Structure 1
Amino acid sequence: MTTQMSDDSLPGLLDLARRDYKDLAGQGLKLDLTRGKPAPEQLDLSEGLLDLPSGHTAADGTDVRNYGGLRGLPELRAIFADVLQVPADQLLAGGNSSLEMMHDCLVHALLSVMPGAESRWADQERIVFLCPVPGYDRHFALCERFGIEMVAVPMDGSGPDMDVVERLVAEDAAVKGIWCVPKYSNPSGVSYSDETVARLARMETAAPDFRIFWDNAYAAHHLTDEPVEIADLLALCAESGHPDRAFVFGSTSKITFAGAGVGFFGSSAANVDWLTANNSKRSIGPDKVNQLRHLEFLRDAEGVRAHMDRQRALLAPKFAAVQRILSEELGGTGLATWTDPDGGYFVTLEVVEGCAKEVVRRAAEAGIVLTPAGATHPYGDDPRDATIRIAPSFPGLAELERAMHGLTVCVRLVGYEKAAGA
């Protein structure tokens, strides 16, 4: 990325940016764009959950107040089978967090032999995961927690660079997995193309126990009238002779209550049996009362879609404001590019190489807190120091607009300083 300015214009642009930053720093702002949390108004849409369930008996007669039901309520699984592209009998409904399920899958893979594996991962010399970048920092944190080596893979408009992925998985049996957010990726908003999904399903891997951690966190989180549809990974894996390859995750965390939702895991029958057997050692069953209240509140797949339309009505104006302000303040400057997602919770801002950390630091000094630069890459290391993740969901619209105007001031200041060698 190069700045589009003449040598004559740079001193004036830099002087203006410095004045704007001084004004910004004097406002005493306390604004936060760090995490992609639902706003209170979004949580209010699910307030009816607090009056549910109306009883304590599921359709099959299960008393949800008691132990048991490791796989979760069948009726709720049937609703999200449609959303997550997993047959209902191959889908587990668990506690409030899909991240918790990802954590457990890693732990169980380390400590027990998965279907198709020759040994426990803990008994192998190296375990490597591929990490499409920019990506989700909590995925990277899980790998660091368990000593799993991470290898960054570049993303493009269709998903991870499959030429790189196919080469890495074919040449090294230590490569055991890949993190994927396939629809409205965190943070780029990219949705995987049908060809990318098909190549992931059919590629040959040196490791017989290779797994795709398919974190479909934004499966229902559309920002336009035309929802993006992605290919059915689980079905394609089965068709390609790799039925156990995909671990599918999802949740209601950004659909209903972020702290009291339902997480889901879907895979082959063999993988579902493996996870259920391992989970039985740590739990006698999930919170079925919460699952029943979600079932009564959402009712069916169409109920989920209608609820998400109401969520979109709250989120879309915020994302539109981000696009408008970035275009007005940074368009044509050559100082930044940014994504315009069709769904999900984030916008990725790419600034001049070598400037992201300094932009984040200057913003913090002015009272605007951003996700740390580098969080979008393994080990917190963005080698280009250019990527900044913007999370527009939580602030009110007026607060978001103030934060975005302030952020663009910081981008201009740091970008022009770098161009001037200041």
Structure 2
Amino acid sequence: MVDSIFFLHKLISCGPCDEVSFYMNLAFYSIQIQIETLEKHHECLKRQRDAVKYRLKKLAARQSEITKKSSVIREKIIRKYREIQAALDEDLRITLSHLEMEERAAVSALDGLMERNCSLIQEIEQDLARLTVAIMAQSDTEHDTMSFFSFPEQRDTETVDRVMDLLNRTDPSSVSLDEVKADQILSLTHNMLLFISSQTPLIRKLTHSYSSEVYLDPETSHPKLIISPQGDSATYTDTWQQLPDLPGRFDTTLNVISVQGFSCGRHYWEIDVSGKTYWELGVTYPSIPRKGNTEDCWLGRGVESWCVEFFDGEYTAWHGGLPHQLPFTKRFSRIGVLCSFPAGLVTFLEAENMTPLFSFCAGTFSECLHLAVCPGHDHKGTNANPIVICNASSPTSDQE
């Protein structure tokens, strides 16, 4: 550029010259300016390219870092679950070994009693055999042979006494397991099961700790929505209500958003959609369009909102007008919505089992977020149920 200025100054300061030379020099100057401009643009593009390449490198490094961190966290959690399983397996082994030891002792005691009974039966059988032989040979039996049965009444009395004594000593009820102890073990294991069940899925307790109470804003609701006095439900009505045409009121889509908006921390809500055949719910920026037939007024169709829709037995997640078909066919009765500002994440859950349905990662939210719901038309009575927010009795939210 300096050379061009110098050349222009020289051209002007020169003495009179013919017209052809002047225009030739002017054309040369113009070409020089164009070349310098192109070179400058070329350098600028190179710098921009290098900046984008550097950002791409940083993004790739961040992606790798997140993948590694997630892998480390996953391995730690797996290890803890394995330790829990190992502790339970060891406790089961010890408990069963105690039961088996007691069983062996009881079985051994019963073996001894059964052996004594068998021994006496064998003696009685021998006496019966000798007596049978004696009876059959009574007519020609010698006196010495009958000497064994010389006093049958006395021997009968002795045998009865021995049998009664043995029966008293070998009463089956005298040998038993410690059933009270067994019942206590069963009670303890049942209590353990109840405790574990109360803690699982682990994510339930954690997620519920983010519960935040919200109420629907009647000043934003479509005129065909009835908002409950408590602000916790929206019901479709076929009658257009005479409501003030406020700037924040949806006038085409059957939407309503919450009074509360959140800009930090983690927040969780559960919405009851039982008995409904169509609904939309999610979160939105307050800047979502609310007037006219523009598609962005629908939840998830613009960049201002994220939602899950249930329609015709199918679930679809929406954001920025892009649909994501979800692989679920069961009609869920309660849906959870979790938004995390630290992670820039919006997650939808099946609330009963905390099954993840879909997650959106926004990176960073540019505005505060409001809960948004759409109960849909009643569809000839098949979708007449309200959509209800299940506020926690003692809501807390993480403000980290």
Larger proportion of helix:
2
Largest Rg, 1 or 2: 2
TM-score range, shorter chain: under 0.3
Which structure is richer in relative contact order (CA contacts within 8 A, separation 6 or more)? Answer: 1
Compute the TM-score of the two structures, normalised by the length of structure 1. Answer: 0.18
